[in-house]
């Protein structure tokens, strides 16, 4: 059997960084972890090829070669996935699809031959058996969330790792919080499920053996969903492994704001090599937090919590939302002021969007306020998919004001300084200078220090960093380059 695994293209989004990655000699931010894991679950005697359309071109000869085409995608890849399916169908090849796009929107893909709903660990063998019998089913769906201790190490041999800016790894699935707009609980459950220590170390070793020596993204829905096990078992194991290997990796992940309440946990994460965390801040307005069920963010000084994490050696990247029913016209300026004061350099500000089958989606549907399906990208004004309580034009203009303000050169570079004043990284092994570091330096000087507008603010930041925080100069350069992307998508 010949299997072609296809990962659809991403449009230019907040997290794509396509232009910046090109400057660094990279083609994509992350590899398709799901498809690489599926590859490891296929019979050893089957032939397999992977085409990540973010790094390679899908050619007709690839489709003709295959007996089955496997596609995995997220909602933001919907348009590209649709084109791939239509193209494959012209060759009369069967399509097998899975991932968030198909799990929550399978009804829109009637022409897909076989669809997996949810996680596949406990049902994939049924599909292989049915395939051997010549009687594969249309829909495969498990009736419970699987034990991920049975998950296989991804098949890293299918990709060229140097095409990517970061590798991926997963320790757990699920999140203990149930925010109204979020589809994580729908997809992965509210009770975090976690792998074994042995699995974790084997996955780290697998990446190390491929020659990877850079960033690794823990793709967990909420990495700190089980704090006790992290502190007792997993973080000590990561620290021991990193020390043994002389810290080949730096890590980033997604967490909830209550990380700031646990000093021991923050210190262990920093010592393990975690340098940044993404947190859904959403809004500084308590009514908005109440509305969306963001209970972990309520009744706390959010700025203080953010700075506690920064002081413990981790950058905080933040998600922010405007468009809640409770939002007043003052929310836009409040968001700007909060973001600036927090020193959250990477601030993803988006419009509230109703993802398929979430609690928000159901509420708006019952109120006849849904306009269209979500694209999965809430950082473009034209994708508003419901009727807001606030006047639509006021909301869209206010949203545009927030993003254009926070990423304007003067405001952006000042926010970088605010972060660097708070950031206290843990000293581990000095990273080895690599080609992309040199490319970043040269690109930043040419594009930001010479070519583009705002060059005075750039040089002000560089000189400030040289004299005030010289050890953080690489961060100042990195953030400066990222600003090019943020201004392009804002």
Whether the per-residue pLDDT at 434 is higher than 70: the answer is no
Token look-up 């690599």 returns: 434
Tell whether 370 is covered by a domain.
no
Whether the per-residue pLDDT at 361 is higher than 60: the answer is yes
Band (pLDDT 50/70/90 cuts) for residue 428 is low
Band (pLDDT 50/70/90 cuts) for residue 447 is confident
Band (pLDDT 50/70/90 cuts) for residue 432 is low
Q: How far apart are CA 53 and CA 82, in angstroms?
A: 13
Whether the per-residue pLDDT at 430 is higher than 70: the answer is no
* 187 and 73 part of one domain: no
50, 32 Cβ separation under 8 angstroms: yes
358, 384 Cβ separation under 8 angstroms: no
pLDDT in tens, 92-143: 999 999 999 999 999 999 999 999 999 999 999 999 999 999 999 999 998 8
Q: How far apart are CA 371 and CA 181, in angstroms?
A: 16
110 C-beta neighbours (distance < 10 Å), count:
8
Tell whether 372 is covered by a domain.
no
66, 39 Cβ separation under 8 angstroms: no
What lies within 8 Å, CB to CB, of 291 at 6+ separation is: 180, 324, 325, 326
Whether the per-residue pLDDT at 160 is higher than 90: the answer is yes
User: Both tokens of residue 391?
Assistant: 């006047």
The reported pLDDT for the residue numbered 192 is 94
Tell whether 405 is covered by a domain.
no
The reported pLDDT for the residue numbered 431 is 57
pLDDT in tens, 187-242: 999 999 999 999 999 999 999 999 999 999 999 999 999 999 999 999 999 999 99
The reported pLDDT for the residue numbered 490 is 79
* 133 and 201 part of one domain: no
* 270 and 211 part of one domain: yes
Tell whether 47 is covered by a domain.
yes
Q: Mean of the pLDDT values across residues 451-476?
A: 90
Q: What is the mean pLDDT of the chain?
A: 94
Residue range of the domain that includes 440: 435-489
* 7 and 102 part of one domain: yes
Mode of pairing for the β-strands spanning 172-173 and 193-194? antiparallel
Q: How far apart are CA 369 and CA 186, in angstroms?
A: 21
CA distances from 108 to 74, 82, 249, 374 (A): 14, 10, 40, 13
Whether the per-residue pLDDT at 452 is higher than 80: the answer is no
* 301 and 184 part of one domain: yes
274, 292 Cβ separation under 8 angstroms: no
Torsion angle, alpha carbons of 291, 297, 301, 304, to 10: -140
* 15 and 51 part of one domain: yes
Tell whether 313 is covered by a domain.
yes
Q: How far apart are CA 411 and CA 267, in angstroms?
A: 31
Q: Which among 1, 96, 99, 97 is positioned nearest to 42, based on CA atoms? A: 1
Whether the per-residue pLDDT at 80 is higher than 90: the answer is yes
* 206 and 326 part of one domain: yes
Global pTM reads 0.94
* 255 and 315 part of one domain: yes
Among 344, 375, 395, identify where a domain stops.
Answer: 344
* 176 and 137 part of one domain: no
288 C-beta neighbours (distance < 10 Å), count:
22
Helical (H) or strand (E) element with 438:
helix 435-446
Q: Domain holding 134: CATH number?
A: 3.40.50.280
Q: Domain holding 242: CATH number?
A: 3.20.20.70
Tell whether 218 is covered by a domain.
yes
Q: How far apart are CA 237 and CA 230, in angstroms?
A: 9
396, 387 Cβ separation under 8 angstroms: no
* 110 and 194 part of one domain: no
Q: Which among 487, 354, 348, 489 is positioned nearest to 411, based on CA atoms? A: 487
User: How many structural domains does the chain have?
Assistant: 3
209, 173 Cβ separation under 8 angstroms: no
The reported pLDDT for the residue numbered 212 is 97
Q: Mean of the pLDDT values across residues 286-301?
A: 97
Among 324, 344, 364, identify where a domain stops.
Answer: 344
Tell whether 214 is covered by a domain.
yes
Query: If you ran DSSP here, which 8-state letter would residue 171 be given?
Result: S
Burial class (CB in 10 A: 0-12, 13-18, 19+), 445: middle
Whether the per-residue pLDDT at 382 is higher than 80: the answer is no
Q: Mean of the pLDDT values across residues 455-474?
A: 92
* 318 and 182 part of one domain: yes
Tell whether 403 is covered by a domain.
no
Kindly write down the DSSP assignment for every residue of 83-107, as one continuous string: HHHHHHHHTT--EEEESHHHHHHGG
* 173 and 307 part of one domain: yes
Band (pLDDT 50/70/90 cuts) for residue 435 is low
Q: Mean of the pLDDT values across residues 352-366?
A: 96
pLDDT in tens, 312-358: 999 999 999 999 999 999 999 999 999 999 999 999 999 999 999 99
Phi-psi sector, 178: left (phi>0), alpha (psi -120 to 50), beta? beta
Among 320, 344, 368, identify where a domain stops.
Answer: 344
């Amino acid at each position: 059997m010949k299997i072609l695994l296809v990962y659809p293209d991403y449009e230019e989004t907040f997290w794509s960084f396509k232009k910046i990655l090109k400057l660094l000699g990279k083609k994509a931010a992350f590899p398709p972890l799901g498809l690489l894991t599926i590859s490891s679950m296929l019979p050893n005697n089957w032939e397999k090829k992977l085409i990540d359309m973010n790094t390679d071109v899908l050619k007709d000869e690839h489709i003709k070669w295959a007996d089955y085409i496997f596609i995995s995608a997220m909602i933001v890849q919907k348009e590209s996935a649709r084109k791939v399916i239509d193209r494959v169908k012209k060759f009369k090849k069967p399509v097998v699809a899975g991932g968030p796009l198909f799990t929550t929107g399978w009804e829109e893909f009637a022409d897909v031959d076989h669809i997996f709903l949810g996680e596949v660990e406990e049902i994939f063998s049924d599909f292989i058996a049915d395939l051997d019998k010549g009687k594969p089913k249309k829909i495969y769906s498990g009736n419970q969330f699987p034990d991920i201790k049975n998950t296989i190490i991804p098949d890293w041999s299918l990709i060229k790792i140097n095409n990517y800016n970061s590798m991926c790894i997963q320790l757990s699935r699920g999140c203990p919080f149930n925010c109204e707009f979020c589809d994580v609980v729908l997809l992965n459950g509210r009770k975090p499920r976690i792998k074994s220590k042995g699995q974790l170390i084997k996955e780290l070793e697998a990446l190390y053996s491929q020659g990877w020596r850079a960033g690794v993204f823990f793709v967990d829905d909420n990495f700190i969903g089980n704090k006790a096990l992290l502190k007792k078992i997993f973080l000590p194991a990561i620290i021991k492994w990193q020390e043994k290997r002389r810290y080949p990796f730096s890590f980033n992940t997604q967490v909830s704001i209550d990380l700031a309440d646990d000093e021991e946990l923050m210190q262990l994460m920093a010592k393990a090599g975690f340098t940044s965390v993404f947190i859904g801040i959403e809004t500084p307005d308590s009514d908005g937090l109440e509305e969306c069920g963001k209970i972990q963010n309520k009744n706390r000084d959010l700025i203080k919590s953010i700075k506690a994490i920064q002081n413990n050696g981790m950058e905080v990247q933040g998600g922010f939302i405007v468009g809640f029913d409770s939002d007043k016209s003052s929310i836009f300026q409040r968001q700007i002021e909060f973001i600036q004061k927090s020193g959250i350099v990477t601030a993803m500000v988006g419009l509230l969007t109703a993802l398929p089958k979430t609690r928000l989606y159901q509420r708006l549907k019952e109120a006849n306020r849904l306009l269209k399906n979500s694209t999965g990208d809430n950082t473009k004004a034209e994708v508003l998919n419901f009727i807001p309580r606030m006047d639509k034009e006021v909301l869209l203009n206010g949203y545009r004001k927030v993003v254009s303000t926070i990423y304007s050169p003067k405001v952006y570079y000042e926010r970088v300084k605010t972060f660097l004043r708070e950031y206290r990284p843990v000293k581990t092994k000095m990273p080895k200078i690599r080609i992309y570091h040199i490319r970043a330096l040269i690109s930043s000087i040419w594009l930001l220090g010479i070519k583009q507008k705002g060059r005075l603010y750039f040089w002000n930041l560089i000189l400030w960093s040289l004299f005030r925080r010289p050890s953080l100069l690489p961060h100042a350069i990195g953030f400066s380059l990222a600003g090019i992307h943020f201004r392009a998508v804002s």
